[in-house]
């Protein structure tokens, strides 16, 4: 069973602060996806990273895929209350299943 460990599990910060969320595994993934989930809703895809070392930016969010394709990070610059939610990473092992991490619950206080 491939495991994805996310850290931290919980994060509470003030508006304007920066933060980084990590997604780590001992397994290699062909690609990795990041989702955000708001209360009472299903996850929504933010980005897919495919190439080792790849960096993708989505406004204030920066996603990086590790060189060995075993880990990924999500960095948020100048967090806003609208960034509050559950962030999930999911690894694609080139089979028919995605493996999800346990999630990071982020709260940004105004």
Partner 1 sequence: NAGVTQTPKFQVLKTGQSMTLQCAQDMNHEYMSWYRQDPGMGLRLIHYSVGAGITDQGEVPNGYNVSRSTTEDFPLRLLSAAPSQTSVYFCASSQGRRRGTQYFGPGTRLLVL
Classify residue 88 as exposed, middle or buried by CB count within 10 Å of its CB (0-12, 13-18, 19+): buried
Nearest to 106 by CA among 27, 24, 23, 14: 14
User: Residue 101 in 3-state DSSP?
Assistant: coil
Nearer of residues 78 and 97 to partner 1, judged by Cβ: 97
**Using the rule CB under 8 A, is 28 a contact of partner 1?**
no
Residues in contact with partner 1, shown as a per-residue x/- string from 39 to 78 under the rule CB under 8 A: -xxxxxx--x-x----------------------------
Q: Which residues contact partner 1 by CB under 8 A?
A: 1, 4, 6, 9, 30-31, 33, 40-45, 48, 50, 88, 90, 92, 94, 96-98, 100-103
């Amino acid at each position: 069973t491939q495991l994805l460990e996310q850290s931290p599990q919980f994060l509470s910060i003030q508006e304007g602060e920066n933060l980084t969320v990590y997604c780590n595994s001992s397994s290699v993934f062909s690609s990795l996806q990041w989702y955000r989930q708001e209360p009472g809703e299903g996850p929504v895809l933010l980005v897919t990273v495919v190439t080792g070392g790849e960096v993708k930016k989505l406004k204030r969010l920066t996603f990086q895929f590790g060189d060995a394709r075993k880990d990924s990070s999500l960095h948020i610059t100048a967090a806003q209350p609208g960034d509050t939610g559950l962030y999930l990473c999911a690894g694609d092992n080139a089979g028919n299943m995605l493996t999800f991490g346990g999630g990071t619950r982020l709260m940004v206080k105004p």
